[in-house]
Structure formats: structure tokens, C-alpha cells
Amino acid sequence: MPEREVPTFPADGGARIEYELQLYYWIRLIRAFEERVSHLHRQNKILGGVYSGAGQEAIVTGVCAPLREGDFLAPLHRDLGVFLVRGVEPGRLMAQLMGKETGLSRGKDNFLHGGELSRGIFGPTSMLGSSLPVCVGAALKFKMKRDPNVAVAFFGEGAASRGDVHEAMNFAGVHKLPVLFVCENNRFAFSTPIEKQMAVEDLAVRATGYGFSGYVCAGNDLLAVLNLTQRLVNRIRNGGGPELIEFKTYRFRGHSEHDPATYRDQDELIEWESRDPIPLYELYLEKRGHDLARVREQVDARVRNTIQEAVDYAEHSPFPEPHEALEDLYAPSAQTDAAEERRAARGARG
């Protein structure tokens, strides 16, 4: 396990405060956004499954915060926060969940497969883990073109048993590619506990077999996540080759909205809920001298407004027209340009 260090915050006092509060806003926005999605799902307004990442917000926040424009990410179905931290408009994300034309895939798929390549986000796939070879391909491109970018591949401890996860890590190790493998170990692959999945306590030990280093980190501690990610991303960006981080965490909800998760031990759930990443980071802010009550009130208001605006935008957005199902099948063309003009006209009419 790596030594605990203080994360590298901006040296300027004002910039540091702003960065600390931005991290807090992100972690709160992710939690609240997913809670609203859960409510909307019960109102039959969400198309497709909902896979909550409640309890795991510190991972996506701490991993994405040190990244730059041009970096490539392949998140999981439970990593909705990646989209928010990387700057995807909350309204477009909510529209994606509602199957609207203004969503990321223009209403042609649910969130599970939505991506946003303009933000460097490759959409998840139903076969979790299959995106790792794609992410490694992006890393190979970075190395071939000598781009100073990093690819980040998210996967769960359950997906680690898949062959394409092994192939991706093996290829990355052989070619010393600029890729960070992020394992979100929340102890359950749907209902299968980790003890039934692997015979080792830490998945991170497998990295040695691929020729690079593996680290274990407390995934509910935003500062620990941020520190380790910053250090390894800098090393990868400077030609150090791939790295693996295993974040120990826990999902507070079931596998999906329809899963009551009765297979879990309630004492274990209570223990992990006491390690909620949000109160843990709030304690840090308070110790840093922030007026936590005032900060919480301001962030609450900002988060509520952001989410309500996103819901309003999505609910007032149109569903795609039937003929649009035949669009986006091929590379951009004059037909695509005409479709874009029609969508812009429809959006202008409200």
C-alpha cells in the first residue's frame, strides 16, 4: 500500500480554496444527481436500467480531477459521475437517461451505452470489462503519436475475471502504454461476493504478472484517491508505462434499482455507510478552516438548481423522430449535416 501523502493542491491560497470547494461540489452533485435519477426511475421517466454509484463518488471525482483535456476514459455503468466531472452538461446527461433526442446518443440508447468522445469518454458496454482493450488501443495511439495523454480504464473486481481484461493489461504491460487501470472493488459482482470470485485478498497483486505496479487505496477517502491518482498519472504521462489502482469501496444500493440486495449482510452495509465519502471529506474541509455550515448551504442550493435545470431541460426535450433511427449509421456526410440543421431548428422552436 502506498504511503499517504498530502495531495498536490494549488500553491496559491485562493486557488486552493476554490479547488477544495470544487471537489466538494462534484462529489455532492454526483450523489444528488443519482438520487434524483432514482426518483425519476420510480416515476417511469427513465428509460433503461439505473445503476447507482452511491458510496463510490470519491473514486470518480478523485480519478478525474487530475486529468487533462485530451485524456481518454472508459467508465463503467456505475460511473455516471465521470460525465459530470469531465464537463458534460447535466441537462444532456439527464436527457440521455430519459431517451430524448438531446441526449448523448440522440435517444437511440440508454445511459448504459452513452459516451461523449468530445470529452474523451468512451461509453460503457453491457459486457463489463470489454472496454479495456478499447482504452488500451487509445493508449497505443497516444504512444505512437507521442501525445502526452493518458487513458483511464475503469473495471470492477467481477470483470477482472474476464479474458479481455487480462489481454488488455498484458498488452499494455508488454508495450509500456500510458494507461491507468482503475478497479472499483465494491465486493460484489451483482450478488457474487469477492470471496467467490478470487483467491487473493488484493486484486492489485496481479499487476506484477503484467510487468507494472499495483496499488491498493481506500476508495471512500477522496484525498487518498486524489493523491495516488495524481502521482501515478504524472508518472504515466512522463513515459512510466501502465499502473493499476484497486480502490476498496462499497455500493450502498443494490446492483440496480430492481435489486433489493438481500444477499448482503446488514452489519457490513452499516459499517461501510459509516465510511460515507461525503461526510469524510466534509470533516477535512472543516479541519481546513472552512465554515462548513455555510459551504454546505451554498453547495446545496447550487446542486439543487443544477439538477432541476437538468430535469427541466430533459423533460422539455423531444423524443427522436422515427426517421432518425436510420441516421448515424455511417460516417458524417451531407445527410448528417442536414439532420443537424433539422435538430437545431427544432431546438430553436423549443
Q: What string of DSSP letters covers 6-72?
A: -----SSHHHHHHHHHHHHHHHHHHHHHHHHHHHHHHTT-S-S-----TT-HHHHHHHHTT--TT-E
* Residue range 294-328, pLDDT digits in tens: 999 999 999 999 999 999 999 999 998 888 888 87
| pLDDT at res. 159 | 74
| pLDDT at res. 6 | 41
CA distance 101 to 301: 28
What's the pLDDT band for 216 if we cut at 50, 70, 90?
very high
HSE of 81, CA atoms in CB hemisphere, 13 A? 29
152 DSSP β-pair partners: 73, 180
Q: Is the pLDDT of residue 245 over 70?
A: yes
CA distances for 332 relative to 118, 121, 234, 347, angstroms: 15, 19, 36, 21
Q: Is the pLDDT of residue 128 over 60?
A: yes
Q: What is the mean pLDDT of residues 280-287?
A: 96
Q: What is the mean pLDDT of residues 155-180?
A: 92
| pLDDT at res. 168 | 97
Q: Dihedral (C-alpha) 33, 97, 318, 117: value to the nearest 10 degrees?
A: 100
| pLDDT at res. 343 | 65
What's the pLDDT band for 339 if we cut at 50, 70, 90?
low
| pLDDT at res. 267 | 85
Place of cell 499502473: 243
What stretches of the chain adopt beta strand conformation (E)?
72-74, 151-156, 179-185, 188-189, 192-193, 213-218, 243-248
What's the pLDDT band for 333 if we cut at 50, 70, 90?
low
Closest CA to 219 of 69, 327, 63: 63
| pLDDT at res. 1 | 34
Domains, the chain, with CATH or none: 13-319 (3.40.50.970)
Q: What is the mean pLDDT of residues 257-262?
A: 78
| Mean model confidence pLDDT for the chain | 88
CA distances for 329 relative to 103, 117, 143, 199, 299, angstroms: 17, 17, 30, 44, 42
Q: Is the pLDDT of residue 207 over 90?
A: yes
Strand order in the sheet with 243-248: 72-74, 151-156, 179-185, 243-248, 213-218
Q: Is the pLDDT of residue 5 over 50?
A: no
Q: What is the mean pLDDT of residues 254-272?
A: 80
Closest CA to 121 of 197, 63, 42: 63
Residue 71 and residue 150 in contact, taking contact as beta carbons nearer than 8 Å: yes
Percent above pLDDT 90 for the chain: 62
Burial class (CB in 10 A: 0-12, 13-18, 19+), 20: buried
- The set of cell numbers assigned to 232 is 501515478
Q: What is the mean pLDDT of residues 58-64?
A: 97
Q: Among the residues of 211-265, which ranges form H helices?
A: 222-235
Pairing assessment for the beta strands 151-156 and 179-185 based on DSSP bridges: parallel
| pLDDT at res. 303 | 97
188 DSSP β-pair partners: 193
Q: What is the mean pLDDT of residues 320-339?
A: 73
Q: Is the pLDDT of residue 349 over 60?
A: no
Q: What is the mean pLDDT of residues 86-109?
A: 92
Q: Which of 77-86, 164-173, 321-330 has the lowest mean pLDDT?
A: 321-330
